Structure 1
């Protein structure tokens, strides 16, 4: 997303996504934004500010930054993820990467940016307070109201209390269709423990690798249920390494090497692995195809999906589940157990959105993050509760003019995606 003021630009996040390959139901391709429309004016771009460490917010940096070569500002944890990606690509980012401190203003050209701490499904997540001489925009990014997020301070309105001259709020729409409040991350432990204790043999759990709180919860579940645990999958192994390096991993939770699990009695095994979205080369698919280097599965072993189903991945996930069921392996998916917290979202549900907006009283809201149905639900919620005077809806490539008057200029920029 690009913000413009007084002839200068500020880029917020730079993420990657996935698209299905033509005539394929299981294979996908990674895609990043086509930034070619920006290149003719890249001298206007003052910097890139990162809200948090998820792939859909920083995963494209390593692909597009070489064409821009501007400063990048990120939290310590996000910066570590960025450094690792650039090192793997044999690119030196050190002179351009700046580590921010929460709540400390940073001047980027004509923009002043503050990182406001919020709770989400990855540590060191932030909303952005972006201020210019004309007013302040709050870019919420991904957030939730979590009173007990396990690894960080609870969500608080206090950081938002110092916003002055708020002219617009750019808000997360991911859960705008869901009524009520999003449950706390801490709600998962009891239900995951009960579910694991009911399994007589091996348990394999898959979740989003970036959710350190969930990884720690699962490690505690393993300990409480008398099991040893290991993690498998490159992304998950890297996240565990970063968690230890940044002081998030508890010293009393010691992971085994995946190689050791194959020598243990079946009832003492828990493997935490990648593949919750049916990714073709993930740890779960290797187990389903019986070509894992570490261990095999047998009938009555159990797979637990501690994650939601992202809509674009439904076919792949179903194919993976079917592959396990054909082998007599028990499959438990969080979405099919609505009365249990086997997974909780990292995004605000309707009541959370209402509470934040009632607190902030934004005059203008632009719903982002989600498909058209989510943006429309977000807009409808605002209108029903009279949370803002103006709501602007649009699509990629539209220009949203905030000052002097809120309006949308359709198709202002030609946008597209590039396959990686």
Structure 2
């Protein structure tokens, strides 16, 4: 009987923000929804990105039918290069999403081997026993879809990231009708985005920022620097319209903005007025009041165009006194320090900085639905079972409470990464766990750049306690010491020179107490020195630095 159940297995995104990846399994067929990454917390020293552990998929590689993407944000597609290097399966996404994916795979030399297939909202796609209907939803990016997955036991609806915007700037509204139709046919399980579950009311439409942005364009006397997420095509389109209305030329600065605006223009999502766009090199040819400079770096990334311009270190973007810098985005938790550092630099240049401080009108709106939209979706589709996705544990818990309080759902189930939920037409039961976790990657590279836990532990150790290098020169012929051991200490506040002299004596005593046979075996000598020095430093300084003896043969 277990064979006749649908398995729902989250591999990432439940219990954290980012790394979204969900597997659906029916007998010998697995469908994967999204393949995201997560940006590392501070304690993951030197790690650039974090992707889900896909051991479960690699162990069942012959059963994976494909990866279907809901939209093109990094937390949904950023893990693809890593996953496809391990598991080359077909990828499905909308036109705009695939354009982002192509650039990402090309960067990692994976594009030639990848099989990318376009999906269109309202057109079904069949993968093994799964018949998938993409449904148009609105979000802070264009061309986003929810997925209605028809399985042998019923429909599983995966919302992706969404908000209910009936008047978006691209004229492609949220498809309420399709969700209402699904509700009439019956939905077995609803997997719903939990990002804004703690926000009351509705999330405003993208058009709600227009009045305040229009005011800023009108009031700015000199250059206007406009910074937003490079994927916020709606916002970029709005800025282009306002720049044209206020007689300003637009220069685009920053690789990510360049790429996304180019893709959006190619696909018809951006149609700048003729002559509106200028090359960054032409900025100096126009008076300041005739310029709007779109610049990347809204989160204060150290090497971004805005960060460099803020310290007067950019070839084209020069911020002068009286210029206005508008940061039209939210502060992502964890980025506060770097954002406020950039704002401080901008203030030093006597620029007017406008950022999302909750005052004087909207300059940014969220791309995620608030409580009333989440309720609306549950009301429309009336699922039998409800599973919150995309969020920290507290968001998922709050979302279960919200769904349960409506009295429309038979069972709301709180799940975390790795748990297996088995569904049939009448029941939903957790039955076990699969291996999940996170894989840390340096420099956004391929599989060879995986950072093991041990490496991160060493980095943390070094950052907290420093390093000690005892350097011993031994005569190869006689086995005798050539001179007193040298001690190099880094990352340690050494109280006085006397400590280093004492440490030398400790090493010297260890060597004097070793037999010729021990001295001939450098592995043994190193271990003895490490042990004695560790004991001495711990006793005198209460520190546990990394100790790496170096033996030089002379």
Give the TM-score normalised by the residue count of structure 2: 0.72
| 1:252 equivalenced with 2:273 (yes/no) | yes
Q: Which of 257, 260, 265 is matched with 1:236 structurally? A: 257
Quote the residue 2:200 is aligned against: 179
Quote the residue 1:219 is aligned against: 240
* SS of residue matched to 1:247: coil
CA deviation map 1:256-306 (0-9, x unaligned): 112212332222221111111122221111111211110311222221111
Distance in 1, matches of 2:35 and 2:114, equals: 19
| 1:197 equivalenced with 2:218 (yes/no) | yes
Distance in 1, matches of 2:356 and 2:295, equals: 16
Q: Is the 8 A contact 1:277 1:316 kept in 2?
A: yes
Quote the residue 1:262 is aligned against: 284
Q: How does 1:14-413 map to 2 (within 5 A)?
A: 14-22=35-43, 29-93=48-112, 96-163=115-182, 164-252=185-273, 254-337=276-359, 339-403=360-424, 405-409=427-431, 411-413=433-435
Q: Is the 8 A contact 1:176 1:374 kept in 2?
A: yes
* SS of residue matched to 2:316: coil
Q: Is the 8 A contact 2:55 2:436 kept in 1?
A: no
Q: Is the 8 A contact 2:93 2:119 kept in 1?
A: yes
Q: Is the 8 A contact 1:21 1:28 kept in 2?
A: no
Q: Which moved more, 1:44-53 or 1:365-374?
A: 365-374
Q: Is the 8 A contact 1:120 1:142 kept in 2?
A: yes
Inter-CA distance 411–302: structure 2 relative to 1 (3 Å threshold) = farther
Distance in 2, matches of 1:156 and 1:52, equals: 16
Answer with 1 or 2: which has the greater Rg.
Answer: 2
CA deviation after TM superposition for structure 1 residue 101, in Å: 2.1
Give the TM-score normalised by the residue count of structure 1: 0.94
Distance in 2, matches of 1:217 and 1:47, equals: 36
Distance in 2, matches of 1:45 and 1:335, equals: 46
CA deviation map 1:12-69 (0-9, x unaligned): 0111120134387xx8622222223321211111111011111111111122212111
Q: Is the 8 A contact 2:186 2:381 kept in 1?
A: no
CA deviation after TM superposition for structure 1 residue 94, in Å: 6.5
Inter-CA distance 76–227: structure 2 relative to 1 (3 Å threshold) = same
Q: Which runs of 5+ in 2 are unaligned?
A: 1-21, 445-554
CA deviation map 1:379-402 (0-9, x unaligned): 222123224221111222222233
Distance in 2, matches of 1:240 and 1:395, equals: 36
Q: Is the 8 A contact 2:244 2:273 kept in 1?
A: no
CA deviation after TM superposition for structure 1 residue 405, in Å: 2.5
| Cα RMSD (Å) | 1.9
Distance in 1, matches of 2:293 and 2:47, equals: 26
Distance in 1, matches of 2:132 and 2:281, equals: 46
CA deviation after TM superposition for structure 1 residue 409, in Å: 4.5
Distance in 1, matches of 2:194 and 2:316, equals: 40
Q: Is the 8 A contact 2:186 2:382 kept in 1?
A: no
Inter-CA distance 214–94: structure 2 relative to 1 (3 Å threshold) = farther
Q: Which of 438, 456, 459 is matched with 1:416 structurally? A: 438
Q: Which runs of 5+ in 1 are unaligned?
A: none
The runs of at least 4 aligned residues of structure 1 exceeding 4 Å deviation read none
Q: Is the 8 A contact 2:52 2:439 kept in 1?
A: yes
Distance in 1, matches of 2:225 and 2:435, equals: 46
CA deviation after TM superposition for structure 1 residue 135, in Å: 0.7
Distance in 1, matches of 2:399 and 2:178, equals: 23
Q: Which moved more, 1:384-393 or 1:287-296?
A: 384-393
CA deviation map 1:343-367 (0-9, x unaligned): 1111101111111211111121111
Inter-CA distance 76–196: structure 2 relative to 1 (3 Å threshold) = same
